[in-house]
Structure 1
């Protein structure tokens, strides 16, 4: 800047060089534009120059191409740099173009959607990887259904082992109880359990569930998921602030209680309304939710379990007995939503046990008297006679083993010699008499 300012004042290159303390060739190079401030001339040619054409062409063809995939293509062409070198070259040279086809997703104008009190509840699943092993989830994944009130932002969530339709309806019923009522509309993604694939029609069972609660179901248009931004943000909060630090030692019921407490604490977060700054809890008071139906929607939740060797299965934090013939076997547990009993069936569907459900998470064991009696009979019948061998017990070779050894070696069978001690006893008496 000083060099160009002095030049505009009419000074010669020699005068500018004398004032700034630089060589005249340096001053002349900056004034002519052959050199730029902060850019040093490389001592050796850049080896990446020969790959610029290929990288540019590939990124123009596919703006979303992973750099590691591009590296796999460049290595056979002679590129010896690392992944970090390639990413730095692409970034510094600006080789990756903006994708015009995807720009409208994040850069398009977004309309502000008004959400009056009690108008809409937004629902969405969040897939949580690597749940604690003690939960026994078959897919090694946990699914959390989050329900958010669009006006106040108050949300509640339920942990589920599956996203199928019965578990969706069961989780929805629990979320509605936690929220304390029903809004006029429900908003969902275009999930297959809500809409028939390829259509905008509700599935029959979900349509009956919505009719039971007297609500209207709104499905987001394709590629327009940002219409339910309230629940999306709460999904992110649940994943990063609750799930990320969840201890492994918690049971499923303890984790659900912790999730309920965490969501309740979020009600105190700051919000803004027409009157100024407020909180989600204050805005929730204006929701005016409609009460839940007096009867629970009749949906049956089905899950597989493996019975233990004691003929017990785990269900909602408690243990229930099955006939001893099914010990260590796979069984199917059925529970009607809202019912106080569970049915346990074989893989073929035959119901073999029915128990009254205990409060979830109590850790109690409920056994049927007939199951206990049958299990004891089978256990006693299978027990071997006599006592079991001890680990450090001494058991020398017996008579049969010694005979077999003698037959193998060709020696005579050892016999035991019995020595009478009467003579020794008489000698001892005589000895005492002599004394």
Structure 2
């Protein structure tokens, strides 16, 4: 293939009277190639296809189908054109669709990509943006739920791991983020979380409106499918997922939370934002003070009782009465209180404990639980010698008699003469 510059040179030399061979030697090309371009049989800059265009015959059909439904799956469309005689593979088929730009743009699903944008002014201390970040394959097992809060003016971010995304867990994580930020902004911006508002109308739930009144803030709910309204927290989600979560090594949720706090202070706050760092801009934020205690929501979490009649909660272990091992109990705690209740599946409170700071690795066992468990363990002990598992025990006398009865038992043999009669009749 000749480029446009080479074609210009070849044309100029040909007008000067150069031969095809001389032009080919000068440009380092084949004589047949130079002749084809000078005679107009080939176009400069366009590579000749070595194979026939199998897609060209099906392009009108594919174009019309994608115009009718821009969301039509490529595999579904491939099944249709294959039935019409398309001979190539699925990979080649979708590559031709992309290259020829046959799929029209859907404005409703395109988000903000390709649309005009403008910077939104965020005064210091005016707004904090919230979002859940679901992180799969947590090192401690299952899926991690991370509530991320970002100050829109400075970009300062803090996040808290939660056991779930129910409203009580949301309030607990929300208070934890605010206390790590050192206060709250005057407005909270959230997307249409089912625990915050009615997703159809966008109106706040009465239960979450009480939370907002407790902290003295306004709540702004984003319109549906408008991620650009909370772009600050969306970008911090990507930052945490790639810079922190990608290489996190932690055995427990509490260990992961401690490493996240250190990461946010040492790396997140040192990022450059405009002419200063995030920490320098955050120092200008005029945040509102927080209440002394978090909003008194009731948090519940299910746990399985171990063989030692203990349950694990926030990196500590608490005892229950004996007889519940292997069963599920519910840990119930009111935010701001220093007491936790352990509730059985029947709904009765089986134990109460004083809450230990998360991640302390402490063991809290009541004396009455310890005495009762010791009694159960001692009663289960026995002085009988355990069975010997490697002894030789051939079949006994009773088993041998039963085997002999089975061996000597007569078997009934039934001979059907009717079949023989039919065969004899047929042979005659």
Q: What is the TM-score normalised by the length of structure 1?
A: 0.81
Counterpart of 1:61 (choices 68, 77, 84) is 68
2:132 and 2:148 in contact (8 A); partners too: yes
From 184, 187, 194, the counterpart of 1:185: 187
Alpha-carbon separation, structure 1, partners of 2:363 and 2:61: 68
Q: What are the equivalent positions in structure 2 for 1:262-411 lying under 5 Å apart? A: 262-264=263-265, 265-272=267-274, 277-389=275-387, 391-392=389-390, 394=391, 404=398
Is this contact kept in 2: 1:193–1:206, CA < 8 A?
A: yes
**Equivalent pair of 1:186/1:215 in contact (CA under 8 Å):** yes
> Contact conserved, 2:318 with 2:353, CA < 8 A, in 1?
yes
Residue by residue over 1:45-90, the C-alpha shift from the partner in whole angstroms, topping out at 9 and shown as x without a partner, is 2333333333323332333444344334444444453343223322
Q: 1:52 to 1:409 in 2, by over 3 A?
A: closer
| Alpha-carbon shift at residue 123 of structure 1 (Å) | 0.7
Query: SS at 1:123's partner residue?
Result: strand
Q: Deviations over 1:76-106 (max 9, x none)?
A: 4444533432233223333333335545732
Taking structure 1 as reference, are residues 189 and 324 closer, same or farther at Cα in structure 2, changes over 3 Å only? same
Out of 31, 39, 50, which is 2:57 matched to? Answer: 50
Q: Are the equivalent residues in 2 in contact too, given 1:4–1:31 (CA < 8 A)?
A: no
Alpha carbons of structure 1 residues 6 and 51: separation in structure 2 relative to 1, 3 Å: closer
SS at match of 2:323: helix
Please give the alpha-carbon distance, in whole angstroms, between the structure 2 residues aligned to 1:298 and 1:81: 64
Return the offset for 1:302.
0.6
Contact 1:6–1:16, Cα closer than 8 Å, also in 2: no
| Aligned CA distance change for structure 1 residues 224 and 91 (closer, same or farther; 3 Å) | closer
Gap change, CA 1:10 and 1:409, over 3 Å in 2: closer
Per-residue deviation, 1:34: 4.3
Partner of 1:155: 157
Q: Equivalent residue for 2:20?
A: 17
Q: Does 1:228 align with 2:230?
A: yes
C-alpha distance after superposition, 1:127-152 (max 9, x if no partner): 111223x45xxxx3221000001111
Task: Note the C-alpha offset of 1:255.
Answer: 0.4
Q: d(CA) in 2 for partners of 1:329 and 1:2?
A: 82
Count how many residue pairs are aligned between Structure 1 and Structure 2: 395
* Partners of 2:92 and 2:401 in 1: CA distance: 80
Work out the CA distance in 1 between the residues paired with 2:33 and 2:396: 107
Task: Give secondary structure in 1 for the equivalent of 2:244.
Answer: helix
Bigger shift: residues 15-24 or 68-77: 15-24
Q: Which runs of 5+ in 2 are unaligned?
A: 405-428
Q: Indicate if the aligned counterparts of 2:154 and 2:282 stay in contact, CA closer than 8 A.
A: yes
> Is 2:193 the counterpart of 1:195?
no
- Which residue does the alignment assign to 1:417? none
Unpaired segments ≥5 residues, structure 1: 411-435
- The farther-off stretch of 367-376 and 342-351 is 367-376
Partner residue in 1 for 2:220? 218
The answer to whether the 8 Å contact 1:16/1:27 transfers is no
CA distance in 1, matches of 2:50, 2:157: 61
Q: How does 1:126-165 map to 2 (within 5 A)?
A: 126-132=133-139, 134-135=140-141, 140-165=142-167
The 1:352/1:227 distance shift into structure 2, 3 A limit, reads same
Are positions 1:95 and 2:97 aligned together?
no
Q: 1:32 to 1:206 in 2, by over 3 A?
A: farther
Displacement over 6 Å in runs of 4+: 22-25, 405-410
Deviation at residue 162 of structure 1 after TM alignment: 1.0
* Structure of greater Rg: 1
Closer/same/farther in 2, CA of residues 10 and 101 from structure 1, 3 Å limit: farther
Partner residue of 1:81 out of 88, 101, 105: 88
**Cα shift at 1:231:** 0.6
Give the counterpart of 1:107 among 110, 114, 131.
Answer: 114
The Cα RMSD (Å) is: 2.9
- Cα shift readout 1:208-257 (whole Å, capped 9, x = no counterpart): 1111111111111223221111111001111122122223x521100011
Residues 289, 40 of structure 1: alpha-carbon distance in 2 compared, 3 angstrom cutoff: closer
* TM superposition shift of 1:294: 2.1
- Given the superposition, is the C-alpha separation of residues 268 and 409 from structure 1 closer, same or farther in structure 2, using an over 3 Å criterion? closer
Tell me, in whole angstroms, the C-alpha distance in 1 between the residues paired with 2:10 and 2:323.
100
